[in-house]
Structure 1
């Protein structure tokens, strides 16, 4: 098990009741790093459904499905605007001439109605029809990656398949050069690991991401091609032509989401399959069940942890929250809540009323959910079709990470070649 130093403990605010304090570090909790979803099942039994932790700068953790659902939909209280738009505009206007733009990942950092204005143009880019047209090219890449390791009798799944598959798909969609894949992944990984509390550092990392994309952004404006960047240049935002600042804002969001999030879902799903030989056999015999199987795997191993800031005093599940409080929406715990999903620890193919919130709910529901679903479904299909029964390597157990996207750092699979 990975050992990591806990972050310093922050003082408890006066409005936080003593019985709602629970010591939990989202990056370094030992149980989370040993087996994240097992730890969350334990938290749901031992911690309040909404609690305050002194770690990671101090803030609220929302565990229950009901509280996560309520908070995700109430953007007036649970805001995504860590810096109000007017303040951000004033700060940008005050920059000296020639200073680099500070990108903000829109629309995820906005609340309605501003959020709607910037999200709407992206809907077409990530529509089910657009994504469906990518299925066969995703399948071709997945097949090539799997065939590349098949004869070896095993692989380190994250680096061999889970990372290159969604990353290459997304780089191609965006129109970014594939030969810079390693550089791009390093930038995103650094950003995700250091995202808590370091506002100045975060801005610098976002500038680094924008700088890594800028040549391609400008080239596509002059020479449009069949990719997302070219499509975005052709859009209007609130009736106005897209600017380079708009493109950098969109770009950093898509860059982070496309180059990090889905690979974690893939790792967790394949671990789930590797641990369930009976399920593997059933899906090989009845591949038409794979889409349904992927949905239950999304519920069982949900992986994203959105962050909000309180804008108005509110009470949720007995917890009084004040303006400025930070809230982490633990969707992976919400989808393991026994009050919503009977026997939540059990992977149940054919589970009734499987209304999971792996992709969030409300205005900020994940724009890339259609793409993620197709990638996961195709991965299941190709892994099961091209490989014999695969299992975890007992000599090299998986290494997990916590944070804003829970996932696997390394996972070794074995099969009989």
Structure 2
């Protein structure tokens, strides 16, 4: 198990009542790092559905499906703009001439209506039709990676398959060089592992990400190719042509979102398959089940934790939240809520009723959901086709992590 030091507990604000305080460190909780979704199931059963934790500077956690669904759709109250426009303008005014641009991850760190203006140009690139055209390329890469380890009788699955598959697909889509993938992944890991939401630190992290892409962005302006960076140079937002600042704003979002999240979905899903040979057999005998397997894996092992900041004081589901409070949409808990899903800890291919919200809800619903689904479906199909019945290596337990993406560092398989 990974050891992560718990952050110091901070004093409880006056507006937080004792009954909604629950001590939970979403980055370093020992139970979370031992087996995340077991601990999250415990959280759903024993913690308030809206609670305040003193860890990581003090913030709210939403664990019920209703709390997450309602907050996700109420963008006027639960804001995604951690650096308000007026504060950003003040920071820019304080910076010396010639200072680097302050990137803002768009559209994810914007609220409507600006969010929609910046999201619209990306809709076509990530549409079901556009992503479906990539399916066979994704399948070819999945087969190549799996065949490379087949004769070895086992592998560390994250490093061998779960990381290179979506990373290579996305770097190619975006237009970034594959040979720099290790450098890019290290930047993303450092970004997501940091629990500090201080605006100055957030700015510095995003400036580092933007700087890593700047040379490729400028090259694509002069020599456009068939990739997202080239496409973004051709769009207009509010009738204005794209600037380098716009490119960096888009780039930091696509970079961070595209190079990490689905890796964890693959690792968690394949770990479940390794624990359940009967499910492997079902899928091997009927590959058409891959879509149902993907959806139930996404529900059972939801992994993203979007942050929000309160835009105003509100009574939310009987709890007083104040302007400026930080809030985490704990989607992994929402999808294990027994009020919405009978026996939520059980994997059920025939599950009906409430759809999962692994990709969030409302205006900020994940732009890359179609891509993630296709990658997961193809992986599950090819995994059982190419690799004989596989199991977990008892000598090398899985290593997990918490944070804004609840996931898995390594999972060792044998076959």
Normalised to the residue count of structure 2, the TM-score between the two structures is: 0.98
Cα distance in structure 2, aligned partners of 1:394 and 1:43: 27
- Inter-partner Cα distance in structure 2 for 1:118 and 1:296: 31
Partner residue of 2:13?
13
State the match for 1:297 in structure 2: 297
Asked if structure 2 preserves the Cα contact closer than 8 Å seen for 1:296 and 1:354, the reply is no
Query: 2:331 aligns to what?
Result: 331
Q: What's the counterpart of residue 45 of structure 1? A: 45
2:303 and 2:406 in contact (8 A); partners too: yes
Please tell me whether residue 114 in structure 1 is matched to residue 124 in structure 2: no
Q: Which residue of 2 aligns with 1:151?
A: 151
> Residues of 2 paired with 1:274 and 1:354: CA distance?
27
Corresponding position of 2:141:
141
TM-score, normalised with respect to structure 1: 0.98
- Partner of 1:363, secondary structure, is helix
Q: What does 1:333-352 align with in structure 2 at a 5 Å threshold?
A: 333-352=333-352
Query: Whole-Å Cα distance in 2 between the matches of residues 387 and 178 of structure 1?
Result: 26
Aligned equivalents of 2:385, 2:358: Cα separation in 1: 26
Deviation at 1:90, TM superposition (A): 4.2
CA displacement 1:21-80 (0-9 Å, x = unmatched): 000000000110011111011011111111000001001000000010000000111000
8 Å contact from structure 1 (residues 77, 311) kept in 2: yes
The answer to whether the 8 A contact 2:22-2:52 is kept is yes
Unaligned 5+ segments in structure 1 are none
Give how far 1:208 is off: 1.1
What is the CA distance between 1:354 and its match in structure 2? 4.6
Q: Indicate how the Cα distance of structure 1 residues 296 and 354 shifts in structure 2: closer, same or farther if over 3 A, else same.
A: farther
CA positional deviation for 1:258: 0.8
**Is the CA contact 1:287–1:381 (under 8 Å) kept in the aligned structure 2?**
yes
Deviations along 1:140-172, whole A, 9 cap, x unmatched?
111100011000011001111111111010000
Cα contact 2:303–2:358 (8 A) shared by 1 = yes
1:189 corresponds to: 189
Displacement, 1:4? 1.8
| Residues 95-135 of structure 1: CA deviation (Å, up to 9, x unaligned) | 33221111111111110011111111111111111111111
Cα root mean square deviation, aligned: 1.0
Closer, same or farther in 2 for the Cα pair 1:86/1:198, shift >3 Å?
closer
Pick closer, same or farther for the CA change 1:274–1:354 going to 2, 3 Å: farther
- Per-residue deviation at 1:311? 1.0
Does residue 30 (structure 1) correspond to residue 4 (structure 2)? The answer is no
Looking at structure 1, the residues matched to 376 and 231 of structure 2 have their Cα atoms a distance apart, in angstroms, of 25
Partner of 1:380: 380
